[in-house]
Amino acid sequence: MALSKNNLKEYRENAKLNLKISDVAATSFVTLYCHAIESQSNDPILNDPKAVEITNELNKILSNSENKLYQDLVNGKLKKELVTHIAIRARQYDRYVNDFLKDSPEGVVVNIGCGLDSRFLRIDNGKVIFYDLDLPEVIEIKKQFFEENDRYHFISSSVLDHEWMSMVAEHEGPFLFVAEGVFMYLNQEDVQSLILTLQSEFPGSELVCEVFNSLWLKEPLRSIMNFKLQRQLHLGKDAIFNFGIRDSKEMETWNTGIEFLDDWSYFDSDEEKLGWIKIFGWIEFIRKTQWTVHYKLN
Ligand SMILES: C[S@@+](CC[C@H](N)C(=O)[O-])C[C@H]1O[C@@H](n2cnc3c(N)ncnc32)[C@H](O)[C@@H]1O
C-alpha cells in the first residue's frame, strides 16, 4: 500500500534500515533521480511526475546520509549527459512497450530490474498486465510509493531465481520482457540461462534488453569503466559491469529460435539535448558501448 502521511513519517524514522541496500540495488536511485531532474527541466525528454514526487520524499531521508552517492543525488550533482542519456533510454523503452501494446493491448509486460521507475503509470492503456520485478530490498521501497492493482503487480525476487516465471506464466500472453540497465550487472552464464529459460517457458515472447560491449570488459577498458562507476558516480564496489556481448545478433548463437529483431543506441535518437556527443555516433565502437537489442524468443 502507498504511504499515508503517518506511515510516511514512520518510514522516514526507519529510514536508516532502508538505506542499507546492496550496491547494485542503489543504482535504482541514480536512474530515478535522472528521471526526476529531466522531468523538471525545460522541454523535458521524459515526463515523470512520480519520479519527482519520490525524490522529494527520498531527499528527506538521503540527506541524513554520509554516503557520497546519496549526497550527490540530493544535491542534484548528476552529470547533465548522464541525465539526458537515462531519460532518452527510458523514453525509448516506453516506446518499445507502447509498440508492443499497439498490437497486443492486453499483453503482459515484465519490467525486469524495474528499480523505482514508474513505467506502468507512463504506459498504462487500461488493459495491459504489468509486472515490476526487482530485488526484495528495492520492491520494499517501491511499495512505499506505488499501489498494486489487478493489472499491476510486484515480483520481489532476483530475476535469477526462475521461480517467479510460474506466476507470470499463468497468463495467456503475449509476453514482453524488458530489462533496462540491468543485465550488465549480472554474469554471462546467468544471463544466458535466464534467456534460454524465458525462451522455453514463454515461446513467442519478445525481449528488449540493454547490453554492454564485451570489449569494454577487457583490461584496461574495464578499469576505466569501473573508475567511472565508482570514483565519478560514487557507486559501491559491487555495482560493476560483468556481462556483455560483441554484436547485436550474438544471442542468436545461444539457441535456435532466438531471433534478432532490431537494435537501438542513444546515438539513433534525434534528441537535441544530446548535443555535440552525437558526432561520435558514426564510430561503431562508441555507438555500441552500451545499447539495446530486441529479440523474439521462438
Ligand atoms: C540501473 S538500475 C535500473 C532500474 C530501472 N530499470 C531504470 O531504468 O530506472 C538496475 C536495477 O537492476 C536491479 N537488479 C540488479 N540485479 C538484479 C537481479 N539479480 N534481479 C532483479 N533485479 C536486479 C537493481 O536492483 C536495480 O534496481
CATH number at residue 285: 3.40.50.150
Query: Taking the CB of residue 130, how many other CB atoms lie within 10 A of it?
Result: 23
Is the beta carbon of 58 within 6 A of some atom in ligand 1? no
Statement: residue 224 has pLDDT above 60:
yes
pLDDT per residue as tens digits for the range 233-243: 889 889 999 99
Averaged pLDDT, 35-39: 98
Closest atom, ligand 1, to C-alpha of 179? 6
Phi, psi of 166, deg, nearest 5: -65, -35
Of 286 and 103, the one with more pLDDT = 103
Question: What is the count of structural domains for the chain?
Answer: 2
Mean pLDDT of 260-268: 94
CA of 211 to the centre of ligand 1 (A): 13
Q: Is residue 93 part of a domain?
A: no
Long-range contacts of 231-238 (CB under 8 A, 24+ apart): 232/79, 233/30, 233/69, 233/72, 233/82, 234/67, 234/68, 234/69, 234/72, 235/23, 235/26, 235/27, 235/30, 235/69, 236/22, 236/23, 236/26, 236/69, 237/23, 238/22, 238/23, 238/24
Q: Indicate the top mutation candidate among 48, 120, 135, 190 to test ligand 1's pocket, ranked by most ligand atoms within 8 A of CB.
A: 135
pLDDT (mean) for 177-205: 98
Does pLDDT of 48 surpass 70?
Answer: yes
pLDDT for 119: 98
pLDDT at 251: 98
Q: Is the dihedral of CA 39, 44, 46, 47 positive or negative?
A: positive
**Quick check: CB of 87 below 6 Å from ligand 1?**
no
Q: Does ligand 1 lie within 6 Å of residue 141's CB atom?
A: no
CA 172 to centroid of ligand 1, rounded, Å: 26
Single-letter amino acid, residue 208: V
Instruction: Check whether residue 109 and residue 244 sit in a common domain.
Output: yes
Out of 59-68, 94-103, 162-171, pick the least confident: 59-68
Cell numbers given for 95 = 516506446
Question: Which is nearest to 164 in space by CA: 132, 188, 189, 142?
Answer: 132
User: Of the candidates 48, 82, 116, which is a domain's last residue?
Assistant: 82
Q: Mark whether 110 and 75 lie in a shared domain.
A: no
Q: Can you give the pLDDT at residue 206?
A: 98
Q: Does any domain span residue 88? A: no
In which domain, by residue range, is 68 found? 5-82
Instruction: For strands 258-264 and 290-297, give the pairing.
Output: antiparallel
> Are 268 and 182 in a shared domain?
yes
Residues 186 and 242 placed together within one structural domain of the fold: yes
The closest-lying atom of ligand 1 relative to the alpha carbon of residue 159 is 20
pLDDT for residue 3: 55
> Is 271 found in the same domain as 167?
yes
In the chain, pLDDT over 90 holds for what percent of residues? 76
Tell me, in angstroms, the distance from the centre of ligand 1 to residue 28's CA. 6
The residue to which cell 554484436 is assigned: 247
One domain, residues 220 and 246: yes
pLDDT of the residue at 17: 42
% of the chain with per-residue pLDDT over 70: 94
Are residues 25 and 144 both part of a single domain?
Answer: no
Residues 33 and 151 occupy one common structural domain? no
Mean pLDDT of the chain: 92
16 and 67 part of one domain: yes
87 domain-assigned: no
Alpha carbon of 178 to ligand 1 centroid (Å) = 11
Judgement on whether residues 180 and 284 belong to the same structural domain of the protein: yes
The mean per-residue pLDDT over the stretch 255-276 comes to 92
**Which of 82, 108, 126 marks a domain boundary?**
82
Our answer on whether the CB atom of 295 is closer than 6 Å to any ligand 1 atom is no
Look at residue 143 and tell me whether its pLDDT is greater than 60. Answer: yes
Q: Reduced to 3 states, what is the DSSP secondary structure of residue 112?
A: strand
Is any ligand 1 atom within 6 A of the Cβ of residue 25?
A: yes
165 in the same domain as 51:
no
Which of 137, 104, 136, 140 lies closest to 123 in space, CA to CA? Answer: 104
Give the residues across from 178 on adjacent strands.
111, 208
Residue 92 placed within a domain? no
94 in any annotated domain: no
Q: Establish if 235 belongs to a structural domain.
A: yes
Q: Could you say which of 47, 82, 117 is where a domain stops?
A: 82
Residues 36, 121, single domain; the answer is no
175: which strand partners? 108
pLDDT class for 16, splitting at 50, 70, 90? very low
Kindly state the average pLDDT of the residues 171-180.
98
Closest CA to 243 of 282, 296, 293, 198: 293
Which of 20, 156, 182, when mutated, tests ligand 1's pocket best, judged by the most ligand atoms within 8 Å of its CB?
A: 182
pLDDT computed for residue 225 by the predictor: 83
Domain contains 278: yes
Mutate to test the pocket of ligand 1, among 23, 24, 33 (most ligand atoms within 8 A of CB): 24
Residue type, 91: R
- Report if residue 91 sits inside a domain: no
Question: 175 to each of 121, 254, 296, how far by Cα in Å?
Answer: 19, 20, 10
**Residue 14 reports pLDDT greater than 70:** no
Residues sharing a CB contact under 8 Å with residue 96, sequence separation 6 or more, in sequence order: 176, 178, 208, 294
Q: Say if residues 212 and 290 touch (Cβ distance below 8 Å).
A: yes
